[in-house]
Amino acid sequence: MTELQGEYVPSTADWVREQVAAFEASNGAEANVLERDGKPIILITNRGAKTGAIRKTPLMRVERDGKYLAVASMGGSDKNPAWVANFRTYPDMVLQDGGTKKAYVARELSGAEREEWWDYAVKTWPTYGEYQPNTSRIFPLFLLEPAD
């Protein structure tokens, strides 16, 4: 599976729609970094929890040994990003890193495994550590593992 079938419903956020469109139009060669700091991103294609429609979400690239970590920081907001419900309801997804697309499955982390991956996330992108004190919620972490 390198494509999900169904109706694509773009994000309501202009910047997300624009980044997704540019990323896909260039097969990941453009719009593959976060604009404000140049850090690399990946693109997730999955289903929306409420509608089952296709959703596309750029996320920070936190990768180790072919596995990726999705950190639901939302800039330290008190609410989870919408994609958290999507991952919990529909864990099967397509992950694109640059020009490479593969099927992945999301699994929410807890306990020692979560702590290990959180430490790695903060080392990879220190801003996560700055966001966490801004809210009382603990950021959900999802490990994205190859479906094969």
Per-residue model confidence (pLDDT) at position 1: 56
Per-residue model confidence (pLDDT) at position 148: 80
- pLDDT at 116 exceeding the cut of 80: yes
Per-residue model confidence (pLDDT) at position 50: 95
- As a whole number of angstroms, the distance between CA 64 and CA 15 comes to 27
- Of 19, 113, 4, the C-alpha closest to 60 is 19
Mean pLDDT of 71-99: 96
- pLDDT at 111 exceeding the cut of 60: yes
Mean of pLDDT over the chain? 95
- As a whole number of angstroms, the distance between CA 11 and CA 9 comes to 7
Q: Please write the tens of the pLDDT for every residue from 27-82.
A: 999 999 987 778 999 999 999 999 999 999 999 999 999 999 999 999 999 999 99
Question: Can you give the C-alpha Rg of the chain in angstroms?
Answer: 14
- As a whole number of angstroms, the distance between CA 20 and CA 91 comes to 20
**All residues at 6 or more sequence positions from 138 whose CB lies less than 8 Å from its CB, including other chains:** 132
Mean pLDDT of 16-32: 95
- As a whole number of angstroms, the distance between CA 59 and CA 13 comes to 14
Per-residue model confidence (pLDDT) at position 63: 98
Per-residue model confidence (pLDDT) at position 17: 94
CATH architecture of the domain with residue range 14-146: Roll (2.30)
- pLDDT at 90 exceeding the cut of 70: yes
Pair 110, 62: CB distance under 8 Å? no
Identify the helix (H) or strand (E) that includes residue 131.
helix 127-131
CA distances from 136 to 48, 73, 75 (A): 26, 12, 13
- Virtual CA dihedral for 75, 137, 71, 73, nearest 10 degrees? 0
Per-residue model confidence (pLDDT) at position 37: 79
What percent of the chain has pLDDT above 90?
93
Domain ranges of the chain: 14-146
